[in-house]
Amino acid sequence: MIEQAQRILKKYYGYSEFRKGQDEIIENILKGNDTFCIMPTGGGKSICYQIPALMMDGITIVISPLISLMKDQVDALHSLGIPSTFINSSIPANQVEARINGAFNGIYKIVYIAPERLESLSFSYLLNRLPISMIAIDEAHCVSQWGHDFRPSYLSITTFINQMERRPVVTAFTATATEEVKKDVVKNLSLKAANTYVLGFDRENLHFAVERGVNKLAYVKDYLNTHKSDSGIIYAATRKEVDRLFAHLLKMGFSVGKYHAGLGDTERKSTQDDFLFDNVNVIIATNAFGMGIDKSNVRFVIHYNTPKNMESYYQEAGRAGRDGARAECILLFAAGDLHIQKFLIEQTLLDEARKANEYKKLQIMADYCHTNQCLRKFILSYFGDRDIVSQCNNCSACNDDRELVDISIDAQKIFSCIVRMGERFGINLVANVLKGSNIKKIRQFGFEALSTYGLMKDMTIVEITDLINMLIAEDYLKITEGKFPTVKLKQKAIAVLKGREKIMHKVARKPVEVKTDPGLFDILKALRKNISENSGLPPYVIFHDKTLHEMCKFFPQDKKSMLSISGVGENKFEKYGEAFIDAVKKYVLENNIKTPRQETEIINPKKDKTPTHLITYELYKQSMSIDEMCNERNLKPKTIQDHLVKCFQEGFEIDWDRFIPENTEDLILKAINETGAARLKPIKDILPEEIEYMAIKAVICKHF
């Protein structure tokens, strides 16, 4: 059996060998056993059910959650010469029956459907006419209410299978599943004596990085400037954030598109196609974008805001580097991100138990953003993958070679303060007490009398809260679940508080930037783009970036050598092989190439300190007044005001109504209309004396 499977692998897919575990899974399916497979994104799970589908006598039904996923998969199968089709809400009823009849008459071997279709008795009746030998369930985590993307329609799958006259082999596939979700998948899909294959969650080609306290817009601008030809995705938490970031980057001249559920179907489809066909380099999107996007040459994924849980983060980050080549996954963290996610959790209709579970998962994301340990190890440990080394040497934590600093004394100050406050308050209030802030809540509880009040006055609020979050991430402190979490000591902290143990700490740095000589790769990429436009297929369906890179390494100049390139099968060679051979030959001749040549330039960007206006913005987000921010930072009111204006100009959200006294806005607008908005003093001169400059600046920013 497996020998035949290998021949199919080479003939259709162009690969000489299976990836780790694929052959075992395929053999198990061909023996007629139910199978549950967990393997990382880009690990080749589609091959695990597509090859058995070609070897079995009947039809394979693939249940997939998104329309875009079905179309991409079917387009890719057609390019390989594999007969397949899809049935979803995008096609009319007469075509549904025609495609079912086509499958019945042997025209198609694989049929993709949405789970919602199984809720229709008439559609289930049509399907039951087919000689179905296998049902493959993609994104199987959707069947669990404890998963990150629960779909109630997935629960109808088992009902449909149980009603079939002859039960086919049932297979389930996912890239992310905790122990709890694994049990739910086996139970809710009624998998019979299922053989479960966990091929690990690791994606070795992905470089993970967390950046805290950076100017996010400036960071993204700099990053895109140094990765101008790369495809990437930037995820933001809300539609408003997507729109704002898109407008900024488009104005700066970057090749960007935007995608969220608030856009019309036509605009979303157009944006997605532009990205797939390399007409735009970067998509800015909410989490509504990505599932089922098989674009293999995504070189980076940037999270502009912290996601709600690790499952979502790893799935979204995993859309980078599906071709196996190096890619970067960067998370830009700010404390305000957690407030956004908490708000979104509160707006859901989940019951209290599930809300509590969501808060718990959000805290794990906060821990990830503050941990000192290897980021890859943190992620893999979350998914229960324990067979990992302590350092991956491919993340911002492992690559940080700066000297560790002993922070035991600062940790003792924090632990002591939490104890003296009765372990009943949140991170921000603890930080304000240690800072010695003069805010109302401290006076309300009399915390200014504590011995720990002002004990860390030389540090900023942001620095103190970052330190507390790190101690939570490293398991010295715990945070209670719920909308208003409080911080408490764990047993591990007692030894430090009593001076028996020390805590070492270091700060992560930016990942290195790698540039490669474009050379032949750009020529082949342009050729691929030209073929893409003529054939109506996305470029990555023709050949992956990894395949083009291998051509650049080995310079194939005949059919035999081209077929030895990973990703070049017989069908693809017949369609595109000669064109790429001609391009390689021409390049070799013109450049007098004898042997492969590779050059890599590594640049280590310097670590920038947090800009001063962003420190002020963090205080603003804690609802401090102008006076409180002045006291906190020992700065003049005008400086604080200018910081907020600068943040606003850079795209940060400011609620200007906070700074406009009641019943003064119309008066200020009238004065501005008389004098113009270019200078503040003429406006101030014609207004009542009690109206301050900050109110004028706020009105100008709000309206002009």
For 446-474, the pLDDT digits (tens) are: 999 999 999 999 888 878 988 898 898 78
Q: Are 456 and 464 in contact (CB under 8 A)?
A: yes
Which of 140, 144, 115 is CA-nearest to residue 127?
A: 115
Other CB atoms within 10 A of residue 483 CB: 11
3-state secondary structure of 643: helix
**Rounded Cα–Cα distance for residues 415 and 254 (Å):** 47
Q: Please, what sign has the CA dihedral across residues 52, 54, 55, 58?
A: positive
CB 82 within 8 A of CB 54: yes
| pLDDT value of residue 599 | 35
Rounded CA-CA distance 576/539 in Å is: 12
Count H helices and E strands in the chain, helices first. Answer: 32, 19
Beta strands (DSSP E) in 397-540 are 405-406, 477-479, 487-489, 504-505, 513-516
3-class DSSP assignment, residue 259: strand
What would the two tokens of residue 641 be? 């005001």
Give CA–CA dist 614/648, Å, rounded.
11
DSSP bridge partners of 663: none
95-99 mean pLDDT: 87
Task: Evaluate if pTM is beyond 0.85.
Answer: no
Start-to-end CA span in the chain (Å): 71
Q: Is 262 helix (H, G, I), strand (E, B) or coil?
A: coil
CA angle (660, 652, 267) in 5-degree steps: 115
Q: Are 432 and 443 in contact (CB under 8 A)?
A: no
pLDDT band at 428 (very low <50, low <70, confident <90, very high): confident
Q: Where are the alpha helices (DSSP H) in 567-636?
A: 570-572, 578-591, 612-620, 626-633
* For residue 223, pLDDT beyond 60: yes
Query: Are 568 and 480 within 8 A, CB to CB?
Result: no
**Token pair of 401, please?**
């070679």
Structural contact between residues 640 and 630, judged by C-beta atoms closer than 8 angstroms: yes
- Residue 358: both structure tokens together: 């969501």
* Residue 161 to residues 142, 192, 650, Cα–Cα distance (Å): 17, 12, 54
Whole-number Å distance between alpha carbons of 13 and 101: 28
- Binned at pLDDT 50, 70 and 90, residue 597 comes out as very low
- The conformation of residue 632, written as its DSSP 8-state character, comes to H
Diameter of the chain measured on Cα atoms: 89
Q: Tell me, what's the pLDDT at 372? A: 81
Q: β-strands 35-38, 513-516: how paired?
A: unpaired
Cα–Cα dist 675/686, whole Å: 9
Res 15 pLDDT > 90: no
Residue 175 structure tokens: 């890239």
Question: Could you give the strand order of the β-sheet that contains 195-198, starting from the edge strand earlier in sequence?
Answer: 84-87, 110-113, 59-63, 132-137, 169-174, 35-38, 195-198
Q: How many of the other CB atoms lie within 10 Å of CB of 173? A: 24
Do the beta carbons of residue 257 and residue 282 sit within 8 Å? Answer: yes
Q: Which residue did the predictor score with more confidence, 44 or 194? A: 44
Q: Which of 69-78, 129-138, 515-524 has the highest mean pLDDT?
A: 129-138
Query: What is the per-residue pLDDT across 619-656, written as a single tens digit (0 to 9) for each?
Result: 887 778 888 888 888 888 888 888 888 877 766 778 88
> What's the chain's length in residues?
704
pLDDT at 650: 67
594 with 662: CB under 8 angstroms?
Answer: no
Residue type at 309 in one-letter notation: N
3-state secondary structure of 554: helix
> Strand, helix or coil at 405?
strand
In the numeric block, the tokens 């081209």 are attached to 562
Instruction: Provide the sign of the torsion angle of the four alpha carbons 15, 17, 22, 25, taken in this order.
Output: positive
With residue 208 as reference, give the H or E element that holds it: strand 206-212
CA gap 635, 639 in Å, rounded: 6
**pLDDT tens, 351-375?**
788 888 888 889 899 889 888 889 9
Element (H, E) at 302: strand 298-303
Categorize the per-residue pLDDT at 565 as very low, low, confident or very high, splitting at 50, 70 and 90. Answer: confident
Please tell me which residue, 617 or 111, carries the higher pLDDT value: 111
Q: What is the pLDDT of residues 570-593, one digit of tens each?
A: 888 989 999 999 999 988 888 887
d(CA 236, CA 245): 9
Q: What is the pLDDT of residue 511?
A: 39
pLDDT, mean over the chain: 85
Cβ neighbours for 87, distance < 8 A, ≥ 6 positions apart: 96, 99, 100, 111, 112, 113, 114, 117
Q: Render pLDDT for 160-200 as a digit per residue (tens, 0 to 9).
A: 988 888 899 999 998 877 788 888 888 888 888 778 888 77
What pLDDT does 515 receive?
Answer: 39
333 beta partners: 212
Integer Cα distance of 309 and 40 in angstroms:
17
Instruction: Compute the distance between CA of residue 413 and CA of residue 353 in angstroms, rounded to an integer.
Output: 35
Domains of the chain: 2-198 (3.40.50.300), 206-382 (3.40.50.300), 405-505 (1.10.10.10), 513-600 (1.10.150.80), 612-703 (no CATH)
Question: Is it the case that residue 669 has pLDDT exceeding 60?
Answer: yes
d(CA 616, CA 68): 43
pLDDT band (50, 70, 90) for residue 604: very low
Identify which of 130, 171, 219, 148 has the alpha carbon closest to the alpha carbon of residue 27: 171
- pLDDT band with cut points at 50, 70 and 90 for residue 606: very low
Amino acid at 656: W
- Work out the percent of the chain whose per-residue pLDDT is above 70: 92
573 is written with which tokens? 């060679």
**Residue 41 and residue 311: Cα distance in Å, rounded?**
12
In angstroms, what CA-CA distances link 652 with 155, 317, 478, 616, 644? 42, 24, 31, 12, 9
**Look-up of token digits 């179907």:** 265
Lowest-confidence region among 36-40, 143-147, 522-526: 143-147
| Identity of the residue numbered 2 | I
464 SS3 class: helix
pLDDT given for residue 292 in this prediction:
58
Structure-block tokens of residue 654 = 């400011």
